[in-house]
Chain A
């Protein structure tokens, strides 16, 4: 069984690497060919996919670990805090940090309220 497991691991690893690396080589070849034709561009749909994939990842990651109203409220609060911080600072790290802190505080605060009401 162990040998079979390692075979699967290696095949999946090799396949995943090829999925990531081969398109780089193909696109470089494509661009090099186009450069000789004086038109160094990618197809429009491909450039469009970049931001759309990031937007899709955002949508997928929005579903919190806990699937209840506390998770939903904390997600909304965290997103608003992140957005507000980004709008003011236009940086990467600080808005993420503030978003996580607000998400954590709202989760913790609402947890405490629920526990005190139940008790």
Chain B
């Protein structure tokens, strides 16, 4: 695996931005769609942009706007939004052993989206400890600004953009599965992990196709964890049987 800090003389924050560039292909088209949908639901450009800047969590933003536009109870909107974002609760604990001490990390957790988590979990081990704050700041800020700028663009000119380049909205979002594939590919290290990851991917795909998009990530991860423990137990039992 290439080492992001050793392969170039770039400062860490710039290296982080460079590593986060592939995210933009997925972020900007979705952010443009959000800006467009929010203004169509009678949110002002400022409100749409503020939602992206302050909440910064894709799926829950779409749901929040739709629920508010349909006149749902305010507390129900807050509850549903936070429920969708609850999966983020396991991201920071996974990264904690990789993060050097410092209070700035707490504020930087605002940028801990699904994609930044995946990228950081993959990249931070190969970034030297003193460069990690800079690397994460660069990666998270680029992703955050692209999300905000995409939303503002979508709110101001989303309709004409999607009318002019309809294929672009279809093609650019493929950057996200491509990025996740690159991040997960090195984990296929043994038959056990192959089965566990394939089970997780299959479960997530199936749940999404069945329209359970919001539950798909935690439910598929839980299915994968069950598969891991079931197979590990089976392996241990087999090993014990062979010994006897």
To the question of whether A and B form a pair in one complex, the answer is yes
Contacts of B121 in A (CB 8 A): 50-51, 54
**Contact mask B171-182 → A, CB, 8 Å, 1/0?**
111111111111
> Which of the residues A7, A12, A19, A52 comes within 8 Å of B225, measured between beta carbons?
A52
| Per-residue A-contact encoding for B41-62, CB less than 8 Å = 1, 0 else | 0010001001100111100100
Kindly list chain B residues whose C-beta atoms are within 8 Å of the C-beta of A117: none
Q: Which residues of A contact B122 (CB under 8 A)?
A: 54, 92
Task: Tell me the bound Cα distance from A66 to B166 in angstroms.
Answer: 11
A23 CB → nearest B CB, Å: 4
Q: CB of B235 within 8 A of chain A?
A: no
Least distance between A58 CB and chain B CB atoms (Å): 4
Assess A52 versus B64: contact at CB under 8 Å? Given A16-B82, A23-B89.
Answer: no
Does B77 belong to the interface (CB within 8 Å)?
A: yes
For residue B21, CB closer than 8 A to chain A, the reply is yes
Instruction: Using known A-B contacts A8-B77, A58-B184, A97-B22, determine if residue A16 contacts B90 with beta carbons closer than 8 Å.
Output: no
B149 within 8 Å of A (CB atoms)? no
What size tier do the contact residues of chain B reach?
A: 35 or more
When chains A and B are docked, how far (Å) is the Cα of A97 from the Cα of B224? 29
**Contact of A27 (CB < 8 Å), options: B93, B197, B225:** B93
Q: A57-B180, A62-B205 are in contact. Are A24 and B216 (CB under 8 A)?
A: no
On whether A100 and B174 interact (CB within 8 A), knowing A19-B88, A23-B89, A90-B1, the answer reads yes
Q: Does B134 contact A (CB under 8 A)?
A: no
Q: Shortest Cβ distance from A10 into chain B, in angstroms?
A: 7
Q: Which residues of B contact A114 (CB under 8 A)?
A: none
Q: Which of A70-118 contact B (CB under 8 A)?
A: 71, 74-75, 78-79, 82-83, 86-87, 90-93, 95-97, 99-100, 103-104, 107-108, 111
Query: Distance (Å) between the CB of A19 and the closest chain B CB?
Result: 5
Q: Is the CB of B55 within 8 A of A20?
A: no
C-alpha gap A61/B220 in the complex (Å) = 13
Q: Is the CB of A79 within 8 A of B228?
A: no
Q: Write out the residue numbers on chain A whose beta carbons fall within 8 Å of the beta carbon of B152.
A: none
- A11 pairs with B78, CB closer than 8 A: yes
Contact A21 B181 (CB under 8 A): no
Q: Which residue of A lies closest to B67 (CB)?
A: A8
In the docked arrangement, what's the CA distance between A97 and B25, Å? 9
Confirm or deny: B117 has a beta carbon within 8 angstroms of a beta carbon on chain A. Answer: yes
Interface of B is mostly: helix
Q: Mark B64-87, 1 if CB is under 8 A from A, else 0.
A: 100010000010011001100111
Please, which residues of chain B bring their CB within 8 A of the CB of A47?
94
The size class of the interface chain A forms with chain B is 35 or more
CB closest chain-B residue, reference A40:
B97
Do A51 and B171 have beta carbons less than 8 Å apart?
A: no
**Are A65's CB and B92's CB within 8 A?**
no
Contact A54 B202 (CB under 8 A): no
Nearest Cβ on chain A to B187's Cβ, whole angstroms: 5
Per-position binary interface string of chain B over residues 107-126, scored 1 when its CB falls under 8 Å from any chain A CB and 0 otherwise: 10110101101100111000
B183 within 8 Å of A (CB atoms)? yes
B177 with A58: CB separation less than 8 A:
yes
Given contacts A49-B90, A75-B177, A100-B175, contact A56 B221 (CB under 8 A): yes
The 15 listed contacts between A and B (C-beta, < 8 Å) are A5-B43, A15-B85, A17-B110, A19-B88, A20-B109, A54-B121, A54-B184, A55-B184, A57-B180, A59-B200, A60-B208, A82-B178, A93-B18, A93-B21, A99-B175
